[in-house]
Each structure stands twice: as C-alpha cells, then as structure tokens.
Structure 1
C-alpha cells in the first residue's frame, strides 16, 4: 500500500519541478534563439514572426536596445505563431517537438533551442477555371502558366491571394471591370495535395465611355487629352488608366492626377472616365542654404515658370554658390513631346566657375538633350554640348604645364549617348530597387574643338531591405578615357577623380589617385569605385550606417589593377528630413598604416 503513495509523491514532485524550473526562467534576458529542423523556412523568417528576440553586447551597448526578458505566456503565443506561419506556408502538419532552455542563473540570461518537425507540405495537384453563365473567355487558359500556384507548387496562403489579384486584374484589362473571382480548395490529406478551382463571374464586357476633366484652370484640355492612351469605344483596360495617369503627371504641371472609372452600374456597356487634377503654381521659387565638407557653405535659388510660351513648356533659372563653384548659373528650357510623344527636348545655357583641388576653370556654353523612355523602365538620351573653357594655368600641376602645350582657352564640341534605368524608391531614402546607367561621351566634333577623346562609363546601385529594417546598399562605378590626340592630353575637368563625400570616403575630395611630385591631384584615365553600406534605424528619426569603400584611379586607359585598390571603412549617422537625410560620416583608410580620419557633413546619402 505504501508503493502507490510513493509513486504519486514522485509524480507530484516531478510536475512541481518542471513547472517551477520553467517559471524560474521568467524575466531572464534572452541571449539566443535557435531552430533545429527548419529545412524550408529560415531562422530569420521565423524570428520575424515571434515577440521574443535575442540581444547581445553590440545591441545593448552601441544600439542601446532594451533586452527582451523571457515570459512563459508570451513564449506559448510565440510557439503558436510559428506553427501558424508554417501552416500558411503549406505545412499544415508542422509541429514543435522539443524546446530546450539553457539558463545562466548567475547572469540571469537564457538561450532557447526550438526543434521543429516540418512534415510534408501540401502541393497543388490541379488548377481549374469555372466561368459563370457559360461565358467563354479563351485567353484565360493562357493565364495558368503565369500563376504562382501551378501544378507541383507548394501551397502558400500569400500566393493564392496574389493569384486572385492577378486573375482579377487580367480580366479587368480584358474589358471586364465588374469581374468577381473566388476559389475553392479540395485538400487530399492522404496525398498531401490540393486541387484549386477558380470560380469567376466576369460580368459584362465593357468599353471606355466619355472622358470628363476637372481641375484644369490654366492648362488646356487638349494638352491633357493628348496624354490619354485610349479612345471612347475601346475595350476597357485598367492598365490604360495607369499609363495615362503617369503620362499626365510627367508633364510636371500638376500636383495631383487622379483617374477613376465611374463603375456605378454593372449593366452599363460604356464606362465613363473622370480625370481629376490639381495644378501646380505657374511660378515657383526655391531657395537653398547648406553646408558640406566638400562644398563648405552653399546657397542656391531655383525658379520655375510652368506653361512658358503656352502648353507644357517650362523655363527654369538656377544659380548656386559654393567653394567648389563660386558661381554656377544655368537657364533651362524644356519642351515635352518634341516631335514624338514622350520625347523631351532640354536646352541648357550655362556659365560656371570651378575651383577643384587640382584646377580652376571658367566654362560657358550650351547643351541640347533629347530624352525618351524606350522599354522596361529604361530611358535613352542623346546630348550635344558646346562650351568654351578658360583654364587658370597657375592652378594646375607645374609638371604637366611643362610636359604639355596646354592652352589657356579652348573649345569643346561633344556628343553623349546614355541609357538609364531607375527603379529605386523612395527617391530621397531608397530601401528597394536599383539604378543602372551607361554613358558614352565623345569630344572633338568640329567647331575648333581642341581635344579629341572617348569616355565610356557605367554605374550600378542596388538597395535591399533585409530583416528589422536593415538596408543593404551597394554601388559600383567604372570608366575609362581614350585620347585621340598625339600628346594624349585629357582636359583636367574631363578626367576621373576619386575621394570625397560621395566617393571613397577615406580620402578627401580628389585626393585618391594620381598626383604630381608636389602632391597635387591630376586625375586619371581609368576609375573603379565600389561602396557597400549597411543602414539601420537607431531611434526616432536617427539612423546609423557602417560602410566599406574601395577603388582607385589610374593614369592609363583600360587600367584596373586589383592589387592597387585602396580601402576605407567607417561609421555614420543620418537624420531624416523631408528633403532627404542629413548625414555625418567618419571614415579612415585601412591597410595604410597611420592615416587621418576623414569626416563629411552633407545632405542626402552617399549614393
């Protein structure tokens, strides 16, 4: 009779020990959370779904993050979140099979190890379309291959939502603005498969009706209608509305451009369209003041006249003063839709004085640019420029002054071809997308152009948002110059220079690359630069960056020597403002022995 009592006493003790051990870890600081068995879903993705998070010395002492203290109630919810996330990813039988706690009672810290059994996921066995009313839409079968959940794909909740939107948008663009779509799932748990049946009520196929424009007080209606990509009676297409909105907005005459289909009656064959506008002021003036390490104090004024000489033409006046440009004055005329639709003509007249570390120069002239989009967000441009330059020969290298027969005054007649693709967003503080550009510049097109050279260059930037709003930003730039003159001389202002706030930040402006025997920068004919930045939030509107820059400039064309790359690393702070981040960067060359720390203050990211 005593044996059962001892047995029950042991069980009570065991339960009491387990419960008390678990609650003894309450309020311990979580130092690490690891997963075992998560072969399909990454640990980072799982950690993003739970409340508990681990912190270390860097987060505690540099980022000043509050450590997360373990709470059993919250942890139970976290386990539920993990399982629900797996189920949304198609693993309906996923389970947590073990949890191991490693506690340090002295420091009151905790490490958590979670073991997961994913089991087999649900995969799509078949996809069907059922269209109500015996309506036949032949083209919809072509849509099957474009869906995310095709035969054999793992079923994921988010993907079926995306597929539903894709089907709806496809039919709207086929002329069915009143379409309704839904789906049913037939799950075979024995086979771990699902059959998806799409149920579609397409509604009446419609056409564009009349177009009504509101809010244009100054801009002529004909100018707006010229940007509309559809006509009354055309089959209704939602993409045509989006494209029209973009075209009207790119005129630069409006603050707000809104297009809406008046879908009041599902039995109407013709759909009226309303274009609602808010015009920008005809005259606008912007004044800028600032300070930067390279430019020192700077001031600028930018004036714009919309509708100059009628239509969408614009006239802009720009003037700026800084230590690098004691005066920079520019008058710009813009003519949209020059000859062809979407082709813009820009005419610039300028007079500039440059005072760079290696030269001082006065420039005046004009350039003419044609620019238009071509395909896949790529725009092409061709620019002709003529300028007359006056070089202060006392400001340049004495060695080069003796080596070359350098004219104090010379002409440059040039042509430049460019391709550019920009998908980065937002404009001032991008966290996604990229920028790609290719430029081909040739100088020496008659008009007594003194120097003859060809300068191709490329640049690429990429922005990726990873976990916890951490942004990985990457940039590289490369270029070279070929001279076609007997003395191989390239004008100082056309050479490549490196170093500065938007370049290799371990060196001040133009100080990385070839120099004369007096240490004065003389630029080069080949350049390679690359920058890697990690951008992370700190608190309020303050964020931080760590970065690695590397590159160099070489005297000869087509010269890129890996062993001669120079490196710099550093830290920075960013303060968010409506016009972009104000930044402070501290950088130091690495592998250079004793080196001076460089600091840069400026507005906007380095790239």
Structure 2
C-alpha cells in the first residue's frame, strides 16, 4: 500500500524515512518511565470489605498519608482509622455509614498466617455505607433585603459538583460551607452583623435531606463619606478617584484598612517614605452611615542620597544596582522602588528582593535605600518527556547557567528529540547592555524534522535585541542566517525545489503581554507581531517579506469559566518579482495547535495526488470555552477555522476548513495535559472525519 493510500483511509503513516535510532530511544524512554512510575496499587497493611476498587484506592491514599509513620497503640490506631473512614464516607453523602476496624483472625496453623502479617500490622476494615443522601428542600426565613432566589443560589454554591447538573450529595461540611457563603454574601453588601442560623438537617425516607436557614439581617452599613486630613494635599488622581468611588458603597470590614494602605502608598510616592496613617470611624448605629477619616502624619520629605546592596554573594553589586535603576539625589518615590523590586525578581537570580528606606543619622530629610536580596540557584539541569499527536514520543534536555561572570549573563544549551524531529541549540544572553533596559542574545542551532509532505535539515546562527519599554510591552529586532536543505518531497509538483537554500533574514517585532500567567491563563491580552525580510543584498537566496501577527484574548467572566480566543494571520510577499516561496518557508496549518480535526499541516491546498503543498498566506481563528470541573480537571469546547492560499493573490473565500470538538485537560505547573477530540468541517476526501489529540499545554 502506498503512502497516498494510507493517507486516504486515515491510518497512521509510519514511513521508512524515520531512522531506527529513534525507535530505540522511544523504547528506552518507555522502559525508564515504567520503572519510575511503577508502584503497588494497594499496600499490604489493609484488607477491605464493602467498598469498590476506586473507593478503596482513595481511602488507601488517605490513610497512608495520615498513618504512614505512626507509633500509636493498636487499639488507638483502629479507632483513628475507623473515624477517618467514617468521616470520609459522610463527606460523600453516606450519613449513616458505619466502619469497624479489627486485626485479622489468628490462624491456628502458623502456615496459614498471611504473608502480609510478617511485616506491617494488617488491619481489616469492614465498611457499611448505608443509604446515600442528597440535598432536598432549602427553606430560607427572615430574608427581606435580598431575594430568596439569589440566597438559594449562593447557598448551593457550597456543595461541590463534578458537573454543573450533577447531584448535590449532602454532608455536614457542605452544609457549613453553604451557610458561610450566605453569611459572606450579606457581609459583602454591608450587613456586617448578619446572623445565619442553620437548622438541624431532616433526613427523609426517599434519600433527601431538608434544611432551613433563619436569617437575622440587622442594620446595613454604608460608607457615607471619606476624608483625608494632611498637611499636604493628596495629589495622586487615581487614588482620589478610588476614594470617591467608595462613597455610598456598602461597608465591609476589609475596606478601611485597604483604603488606608492606598493612602499611605500615595503619600510615599509623593516623597514621604516614613508617613503614617491613622483611621477614625464615626458610625451612626440608627442609620448605619459611616464616616472614614484618615489622619496622615507625613514626617520628613526624603531625598535618596545612597543605595546599598546586601545578600549578594554571587552577583556583582554594580549589576544589581544597574538592574534596579534607582537614581540618587532624587525625591523618594515608592512607585520607583516597587518597579526596581520587580525588575530584580524578573532576572530569576533572586528568590526575594526587598528595598527598604532608612533615614541617615543627622540628616532627617535624606534616606539610604537598602536593597536586600536572597540569591536563587543559578545552575539548572532539566529533562522533560512528553507526547504529541504528530511527533508522538518526545523529550528534551537542557542546561542553563543564569549568572555567568556574576553579571547576570545567561547561557543555555540543550536538545530536543521526538519520533519526527531532532534539535540542538545553544544561546547566550547579555542583559542590560549599554546601561539600557535592553538585552542581547546570540545563538546557534541545528534541526532536522519530518514534515507531513517533506523533510528538512537546517543549521544556522541568530542574534537579537529586546527592549523592555514598560507596561508589559517589548520591542525586538534581530538577524538570522540559516542553511536549509529540503528533500523527500512527496508532491510531484514541487519536487524541483529539493536542495539547499541559503536564508539571510532581518526581523523586527513588538510584543504586548498582559496575561496573568503564560502557562495557566485566566485573563489578559497577548499581541505578538513580527516582520522578517530576506534579500540578496545581505546574502539571502530567497527575496521575500513575511509579516505575521497573533492576538490572543482571555476572559474570566465567572468563577470556573474562561473564554479564550486567538487570531493568527501571516503573509509572504515576494520582493521584486521573485520566484515562488520554497516549500520549507511556506505556511502549513492544521493539527493540535492550529485547526483541530485534521492531520498536522494538512489544511489548505494539495497537489493532484493529495499531498499538502502549503501557501503564501494563512489565517487561523480559534475560540475556546473552558470550565473547571473539579480541582485541576477542566472541560473545554472549541471551534477552529483556517485557510491557506497557495499564492498571495489567491482569494480566501474558496475553501475555509474548520473543526468543532471537546477537550479534557488536567492542569499541572508546566501546563495542562490535554486530550482533544475534533470533528472536521468542510473536509476534503483526504481528511479523516475526526481526530483525537494528546499533548501538553494549551493550543494558544
């Protein structure tokens, strides 16, 4: 069967191009992983009855954590185990569960003694779960200011659910959480003295539990006025606007202290590093109106005369001061101090970086800034193994040194390998060159990769500059020279493009990133634009300009929901009537990170035999709705669409291709483990109807 026929019926393509050493590496990695993660499913010290396999595994994990190393007497240990197991069942809705724990019966013949008894003591745990109860009716009494409907919704939020529509199993813990949620709901709206009295639960014969909440609302407290008394007026407009916004708002216990911190911060930004703020509250118990008065004791206005560094063992003091960027003979500004601390933290050279003002003896209006740092480990060796739907088994190894020459210079050397590709690289980065907030990096690389319709091997060098302009924005510029060799092209139409190509590219770009986390994002915006230009004038055999832009937005409208969207656009412009762009430089989309529902790189134009040939223009649109089911488990629904045009002059309207699907993710510190299923929309006869994808990390 030919490769083309295998593609048409949707079977995996194991071509003879893959080198045998990759299969050997894959086997070794799987064997090592099996040794690392191989554990016994059940310790030998427990015998169970009356519980299923999944419940048994959960209880074993709980008990091993609680009693892994204990010297309790046997009778006390049995009572503790019975209590823990009973409590666990009650949290799952089994309110009448009974658990007995006893040692195993003593055998008359020593040969009949179980092998397990030779080691840790064996405990027999007999469980009788009884009926399982779910929440029934909820009666709310005494609510006059807030509606019963909104209070019921708030109360039900205290009951954990795996699915939004799943059963709410009753437990005392969930009952207390729901009661506390109603009380907190009132307090956030100004009823600080509210009392929510829960009734005893009533167990019904049909497996439901009825509860009632008696609410004593009390007086609603509102902030009538906010005053700031100081020898110098408050000048920060944002702080004044924030204080004004709280007038007429409900009073909460945390509001006065939070506003006091903001007032103190604003005056420290005006040059008073040692100012103190005292709060006075005037409360009218009949109407509930509250006056907040902040009395500010300014102290002397400070001028920075000197800056010193403490705790820097491996990092040169001039470098620390350069990164901090604190200027002497300037009026003290708390905002500048906080920005300096943030810059020090971003270097990843320090576990902590704190900057504190200290008055100079005999000169009350002059301050010394103490920069106190705790250095982090600067040498890091890391390995990682994973799986991708296209590359299959993959792994990487990397060694990084973040503080060469005691001045924050960073070197990184490593390699990545999968069943489809290999890559070696080395990079060297110098931060804050020329005394500016600019970093420079140089590097070299070698890579080999099997694309869906060809193979390529590349090596080259690169250099780049990055300017941090502040407010989450960066400007970039760079140069890259690489030698690209493409071979084993499947398409007969472009086989004449086999061979070497020399590319010399100048690039410019800009980045804006306000995401709260680059790994597990809840909210924020990412805009990344870049332009690459290759020309014979600086040694490129291909003359073209390639602008690309990606925009991703994330919104967290509700507690468990994240809505995410991404738009990627790219164009390749032939300069001075140049020849068609080589196949290795064209756009290919489709697969786990672009348009799901299709094989890797197989969305867009094909030749007569059905092989993808890429194009000079592309658009990818992704929309996702993510819902956190339980703890770190997440469900997602998504829609993807994209298109590739062979030539820049071609029209996009001819054939858009898309995918609709569902995904299940488990979030980890390095990114989510992602399992996606997508159905292809507007597919060709070469595409499967649907596909599964397994990978690590979000698609955008």
How does the TM-score come out when normalised to structure 1? Answer: 0.77
3-state SS in 2 of match to 1:339: helix
Match of 1:568 in 2: 660
Cα distance change of structure 1 residues 310 and 123 upon mapping to structure 2, 3 Å threshold: closer
Question: Which residue of structure 2 lines up, in the alignment, with residue 373 of structure 1?
Answer: 468
DSSP-derived class of the 1:227 partner: helix
2:562 equivalent in structure 1:
471
> Closer, same or farther in 2 for the Cα pair 1:83/1:336, shift >3 Å?
closer
Q: Are 1:371 and 1:382, in contact at CA under 8 Å, matched by a contact in 2?
A: yes
- Residues 1:230 and 1:485: Cα distance change in structure 2 (over 3 Å): closer
Aligned residue runs from structure 1 range 47-66, under 5 A: 47-48=153-154, 52-53=158-159, 59-60=165-166
SS in 2 for 1:345: strand
- Give the CA RMSD over aligned residues: 4.5
How far did 1:259 drift? Answer: 1.6
- Compute the displacement of 1:380 (Å): 0.8
Which of these residues, 588, 592, 596, is aligned with residue 679 of structure 2?
A: 588
SS for the counterpart of 2:522 is coil
Point out where structure 1 has 5 or more consecutive residues left out of the alignment. 1-26, 61-65, 97-102
- 1:600 aligned to 669, 689, 693, which one? 693
CA distances 1:62-107 after superposition (whole Å, capped 9, x unpaired): xxxx624499x959x96786476345335799999xxxxxx9x997
Distance 1:320 1:49 in 2: 51
Secondary structure class of the residue paired with 2:273: coil
1:89 maps to what in 2?
189
Residue 67 (structure 1) aligned with residue 67 (structure 2): no
- For residues 591 and 490 of structure 2, the distance between their equivalents in structure 1, rounded to whole angstroms, comes to 20
Counterpart residue number, 1:397: 491
Q: Which residue of 1 aligns with 2:513?
A: 422
CA distance in 1, matches of 2:696, 2:490: 30
Query: 3-state SS of the aligned residue for 2:494?
Result: helix
1:294 aligns with 2:390: yes
Shift of 1:129: 1.9
Contact 1:497 1:553 in 2 (8 A): no
Residue in 1 aligned with 2:433? 338
2:537 match: secondary structure: coil
Q: CA deviation at 1:54?
A: 8.7
Distance 1:285 1:56, change over 3 A: closer
| d(CA) in 2 for partners of 1:204, 1:276 | 24
**Residue correspondence of structure 1 range 7-406 to structure 2 within 5 A:** 29-30=134-135, 47-48=153-154, 52-53=158-159, 59-60=165-166, 67-69=168-170, 82=182, 85-86=185-186, 88-90=188-190, 126-131=225-230, 136-140=231-235, 142=237, 145-150=240-245, 153-157=248-252, 160-184=256-280, 195-208=291-304, 210-252=306-348, 254-261=349-356, 269-281=365-377, 283-308=379-404, 311-326=407-422, 328-392=423-487, 394-401=488-495, 406=497
Q: CA deviation at 1:448?
A: 4.1
Alpha-carbon shift at residue 170 of structure 1 (Å): 0.8
Q: How many residues align structurally?
A: 559
Partner residue in 2 for 1:534: 626
Instruction: Say if 1:534 and 1:545, in contact at 8 Å, map to a contact too.
Output: yes
Q: Is the 8 A contact 1:126 1:194 kept in 2?
A: yes
> Which whole-Å CA distance do the structure 2 matches of 1:39 and 1:496 have between them?
60
Following superposition of structure 1 onto structure 2, how do residues 461-540 of structure 1 map, counting pairs within 5 Å? 461-484=552-575, 486=577, 489-524=580-615, 525-538=617-630
Alignment partners' CA distance in 2, 1:78 and 1:153: 29
Contact 1:451-1:485 at 8 Å conserved across structures: no
SS at match of 1:416: strand
Unmatched segments (≥5 aa) in structure 2: 1-131, 197-201
Q: CA deviation at 1:166?
A: 1.8
Q: Cα offset for 1:311?
A: 3.1
Determine the C-alpha separation between the residues in 2 that align with 1:306 and 1:197: 49
3-state SS, counterpart of residue 479 of structure 1: strand
The answer on whether the counterparts of 1:124 and 1:153 sit within 8 Å (CA) in structure 2 is yes
Q: How far does residue 378 in structure 1 lie from its aligned partner after superposition?
A: 0.4
Q: Deviations over 1:562-584 (max 9, x none)?
A: 983412212223252x4333333
Change (3 A) 1:249 1:384: same
Seen in structure 2, the aligned counterparts of structure 1 residues 487 and 41 have a Cα distance that, compared at 3 Å, is farther
CA distances 1:196-223 after superposition (whole Å, capped 9, x unpaired): 4333233343344654433333322222
Measured after TM superposition, the shift of residue 459 of structure 1 is 1.7
Secondary structure at the counterpart of residue 497 of structure 2? coil
TM-score relative to the length of structure 2: 0.67
Report Cα offsets for 1:577-602 as digits up to 9, x if no partner. x4333333333335769954422222
